[in-house]
């Protein structure tokens, strides 16, 4: 995602930066897939091997990605859109915290922390309201999932 | 014909069981609720509710999930009309005329026509699903691996042609999806592919994680960019019933919308969103005075609302008969069926008739419930919209996180979902559509399996795809579609070059 600043600076050179960098990223993905499937056996006789289909699709993707980048280089298009950091950052952080805490921390504490972190993802956050709302939601989740739906959740940390 | 009636009778006897009626009611209510709330679509909701269905009998579970899908089409229209915010992407066009009607104090008739149109479309498409089920199933039995492969190619091409924006980019997204679906273990040899010895990846990347990431979380990230501005029509909703003139004006639109929706729903890659757009455009072209559209023309509400509901229901046809999900929501239904040990495909109808027909009958009952229950509830739904987004989105995040986690009790799944959220956000910034990617991702394993088998049977000769008549026909249609879609683009490109060389 670091191509954003680079793109807006070089706006004059690349006429359709959204397509150009998007296409390049797909070429990169295809190259990565080709590299990751390099050790898989390919065709033997007329039967496909495990590596045939991945390499086939990766090859096609590389060609198309290059074509998109080329079109982006030759035609005009809208400039890159700004990437907002705050929302994606806190949402991702909230999910990572959930993943890290749910096993050792139990549902109650994990939900509360994850909700508060996620809520910080907007400029409009109001902290007192958030804490109360997080407590209400935590209570709701702790009743709904383990009791209402009978899912195997551990509520509190294990010591 | 008598078969059809006896089958439907069987279906209704299953669907009318109290427990199944309850499931249908819950499904349609939850569907309407999420349809009303912007920022959470049917896809994320079905993904979230999948774990709930573990404990239910398969018929009840599928009835509920289906109810969520068509309930959401319905709920989306309510917010489109009242506050000019489409709750669902399939209701975007309804805002154009629906909200104008609400501003002119005709919110009641707009809502009622949306409901009546949806119900009519629901009735027609229920019969259509029932009538087309049996013949299509017998066609499916003629299909070999080559035909299946070609059919899926056709489906993906449809998805590409109908996606908005560049065809090249949509094809690239399909390929990205196919490539992602290769991660995991090889189907024949069991060899690990591109999994980097990560044990959680040995089964591949989960569909729910990808879907919830690129649709659910990416959507939230985008919504957080804009600060909130919601304008609710405060005027009282008086006189729910449309006048006789309204009914007469919209009758044709409802019929045409239903037809367009039914056809686009069956076609792979189609679905409710495209159906609504197509019906609206068609109605505008048909109209004697197109300038009325966008200023509160009742046909502009009737046609897309009928179309999206019809499409939502007929998209079950390819899933139930051929076992091929035509869009992302149906792909999730495959997941739901697999959880209950049902393999979607032609054998569902013969081996589990009560499931097949019960589900179809429940669609009609569900549509009836939507009309009867939801019109009086409009006030409640509107009040719900006053919940500000800053409170709504943390709730969605935590429900999704818990839902994904509880699928396999795996924290790794939650991380993958977050990753795909970022991927989806990036894709939207570069004008890539995530829907073709998801379809490619779902069809990937099926496509590879059938491609390999077809090649093996033909002893490595790829011409098998064009020498077998059905397969050749399907591929020809796919090629034709692609050419038709590419032609205007090439012409436009040429025009651009031309004007530039002039100046």
Given pLDDT bands bounded at 50, 70 and 90, which one contains residue B1? Answer: low
Q: Summarize pLDDT for B99-138 with one digit per residue, the tens.
A: 888 878 787 888 888 888 888 988 888 888 888 877 877 7
| pLDDT for the residue numbered B318 | 82
CA distance B71 to B29: 7
| Mean pLDDT, rounded, for B148-170 | 80
When CB atoms are compared, the residue of A99, A103, A134 closest to B415 is A99
Q: Which residue of A has its CA nearest to B462?
A: A46
Which of A49, A99, A123, A138 is the best residue to mutate to test the B interface, defined by the most B CB atoms within 10 Å of its own CB? A99
Write out the DSSP string of chain A: -THHHHHHHTTTT-S-HHHHHHHHHHHHHHHHHHHHTTTS---BTTB--TTHHHHHHHHHHHHHHHHHHHHHHHS--PPPPPPPSHHHHHHHHHHHHHHHHHHHH-HHHHHHHHHHHHHTTSTT--HHHHHHHHHHHHHHHHHIIIIIS------S---
Q: Min CA distance, B189 vs chain A (Å)?
A: 7
User: Considering only B341-355, B372-386, B402-416, B469-483, which range has the smallest mean pLDDT?
Assistant: B372-386
Given pLDDT bands bounded at 50, 70 and 90, which one contains residue A100? Answer: very high
The reply to whether B198 touches chain A by the CB within 8 Å rule is no
Q: Which of A133-142, B283-292, B333-342 has the highest mean pLDDT?
A: A133-142
The reply to whether A124 touches chain B by the CB within 8 Å rule is yes
pLDDT at B423 over 90: yes
Q: Which residue of A has its CA nearest to B178?
A: A57
Q: Summarize pLDDT for A45-98 with one digit per residue, the tens.
A: 777 778 888 888 999 999 999 998 998 888 887 888 888 888 899 999 999 999
pLDDT at B279 over 60: yes
When CB atoms are compared, the residue of A41, A57, A102 closest to B178 is A57
Domain count, chain B: 1
Other beta carbons within 10 Å of A156: 11
Q: Summarize pLDDT for B67-94 with one digit per residue, the tens.
A: 888 788 777 787 778 777 666 667 778 8
- Domain span including residue B303: 2-502
User: Considering only A20-34, B121-135, B211-225, B339-353, which range has the smallest mean pLDDT?
Assistant: B339-353
The reply to whether A130 touches chain B by the CB within 8 Å rule is yes
Contact between chains at B169 and A68 (C-beta distance less than 8 A): yes
When CB atoms are compared, the residue of A58, A111, A152 closest to B398 is A111
| pLDDT for the residue numbered B500 | 38
CA distance B185 to B180: 12
The reply to whether B389 touches chain A by the CB within 8 Å rule is yes
CA distance B304 to B117: 9
Q: How far is CA B33 from the centre of its chain?
A: 17
When CB atoms are compared, the residue of B175, B193, B227 closest to A50 is B193
CA distance A88 to B218: 8
B188 CB neighbours in chain A (<8 A) are 50
| pLDDT for the residue numbered B373 | 75
The reply to whether B64 touches chain A by the CB within 8 Å rule is no
The reply to whether A155 touches chain B by the CB within 8 Å rule is no
| pLDDT for the residue numbered B240 | 65
Contact between chains at B405 and A87 (C-beta distance less than 8 A): no
Q: Min CA distance, A65 vs chain B (Å)?
A: 7
Q: Which of B4, B92, B56 is nearest to B301 (CA)?
A: B92
Contact between chains at A114 and B225 (C-beta distance less than 8 A): no
Which of A42, A88, A97 is the best residue to mutate to test the B interface, defined by the most B CB atoms within 10 Å of its own CB? A88
| ipTM exceeds 0.85 | yes
A88 CB neighbours in chain B (<8 A) are 221, 421-422, 425
Q: Summarize pLDDT for B448-496 with one digit per residue, the tens.
A: 888 888 888 888 788 888 888 888 988 998 888 888 877 766 655 544 4
Per cent of chain B over pLDDT 90 is: 5
Contact between chains at A95 and B393 (C-beta distance less than 8 A): no
Model confidence, pTM:
0.80
| pLDDT for the residue numbered B203 | 80
The reply to whether B395 touches chain A by the CB within 8 Å rule is yes
Q: Min CA distance, A158 vs chain B (Å)?
A: 17
When CB atoms are compared, the residue of B179, B194, B390 closest to A119 is B390
- Residue with the bigger pLDDT between A15 and B302: it is B302
Per cent of chain B over pLDDT 70 is: 89
Q: Min CA distance, A50 vs chain B (Å)?
A: 6
Q: Min CA distance, B437 vs chain A (Å)?
A: 12
- Chain A contacts in chain B segment 328-387 (CB below 8 A): none
| pLDDT for the residue numbered A89 | 93
Given pLDDT bands bounded at 50, 70 and 90, which one contains residue A117? Answer: very high
Q: Which residue of B has its CA nearest to A114?
A: B398
pLDDT at B292 over 50: yes
Average pLDDT, chain B: 80
- Residue with the bigger pLDDT between B427 and B329: it is B427
């Amino acid at each position: 995602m670091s191509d954003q600043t680079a793109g807006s600076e070089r706006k004059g050179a690349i006429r359709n930066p959204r397509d150009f960098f998007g296409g390049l990223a797909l070429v990169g993905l295809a190259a990565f897939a080709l590299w990751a499937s390099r050790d898989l056996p390919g065709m033997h006789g007329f039967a496909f091997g495990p590596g045939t289909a991945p390499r086939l699709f990766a090859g096609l993707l590389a060609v198309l990605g290059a074509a998109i980048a080329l079109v982006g280089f030759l035609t005009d298009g809208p400039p890159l859109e700004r990437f907002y950091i705050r929302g994606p950052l806190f949402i991702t952080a909230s999910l990572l915290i959930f993943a890290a805490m749910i096993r050792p921390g139990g549902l109650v504490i994990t939900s509360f922390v994850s909700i508060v972190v996620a809520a910080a993802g907007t400029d409009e956050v109001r902290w007192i309201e958030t804490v109360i709302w997080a407590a209400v939601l935590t209570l709701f989740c702790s009743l709904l999932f383990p009791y209402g739906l009978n899912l195997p959740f551990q509520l509190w940390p294990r010591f | 014909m008598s078969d059809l009636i006896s089958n439907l009778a069987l279906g209704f006897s299953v669907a009318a069981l109290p427990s199944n009626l309850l499931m249908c009611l819950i499904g349609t209510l939850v569907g309407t609720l999420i349809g009303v709330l912007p920022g959470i679509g049917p896809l994320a909701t079905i993904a979230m509710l999948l774990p709930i269905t573990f404990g239910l009998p398969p018929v009840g579970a599928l009835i509920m999930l289906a109810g969520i899908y068509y309930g959401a089409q319905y709920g989306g229209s309510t917010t489109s009309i009242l506050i000019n915010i489409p709750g669902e992407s399939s209701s975007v066009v309804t805002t154009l005329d629906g909200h104008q009607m609400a501003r002119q104090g005709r919110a009641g008739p707009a809502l009622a026509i949306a409901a009546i149109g949806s119900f009519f479309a629901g009735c027609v498409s229920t019969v259509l699903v029932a009538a087309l089920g049996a013949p299509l199933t017998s066609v499916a039995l003629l299909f070999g691996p080559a035909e299946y492969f070609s059919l899926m190619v056709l489906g993906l091409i449809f998805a590409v042609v109908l996606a908005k924006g560049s065809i090249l980019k949509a094809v690239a997204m399909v390929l990205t999806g196919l490539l992602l679906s290769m991660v995991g273990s090889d189907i024949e040899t069991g060899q690990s592919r591109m999994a980097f010895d990560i044990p959680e990846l040995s089964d591949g990347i989960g569909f729910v994680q990808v879907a919830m990431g690129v649709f659910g979380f990416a959507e939230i990230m985008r919504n957080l960019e804009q600060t909130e501005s919601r304008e609710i029509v405060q005027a009282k909703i008086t006189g729910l019933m449309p006048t006789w003139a309204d009914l007469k004006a919209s009758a044709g639109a409802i019929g045409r919308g239903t037809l367009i929706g039914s056809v686009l729903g069956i076609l792979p890659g189609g679905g409710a969103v495209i159906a609504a757009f197509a019906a609206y455009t068609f109605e505008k072209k048909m109209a004697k005075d197109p300038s009325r559209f966008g200023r509160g023309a009742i046909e502009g509400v009737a046609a897309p609302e009928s179309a999206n509901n019809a499409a939502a229901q007929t998209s079950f046809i390819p899933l139930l008969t051929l076992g091929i999900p035509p869009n992302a929501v149906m792909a999730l239904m495959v997941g739901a069926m697999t959880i209950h040990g049902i393999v979607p495909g032609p054998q569902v109808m013969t081996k589990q008739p009560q499931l097949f027909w019960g589900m179809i009958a429940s669609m009609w009952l569900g549509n009836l419930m939507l009309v009867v229950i939801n019109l009086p509830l409009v006030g409640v739904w509107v009040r719900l919209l006053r919940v500000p987004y800053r409170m709504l989105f943390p709730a969605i995040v935590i429900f999704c996180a818990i839902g994904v986690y509880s699928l396999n009790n795996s924290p790794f799944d939650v991380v993958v979902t977050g990753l795909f959220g970022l991927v989806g956000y990036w894709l939207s910034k570069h004008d890539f559509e995530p829907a073709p990617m998801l379809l490619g991702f779902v069809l990937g394993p099926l496509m590879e399996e059938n491609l390999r088998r077809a090649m093996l049977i033909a002893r490595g000769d790829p011409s098998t795809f064009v020498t077998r008549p059905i397969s050749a026909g399907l591929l020809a249609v796919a090629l034709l579609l692609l050419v038709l879609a590419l032609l205007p683009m090439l012409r436009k490109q040429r025009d651009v070059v031309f004007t530039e060389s002039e100046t």
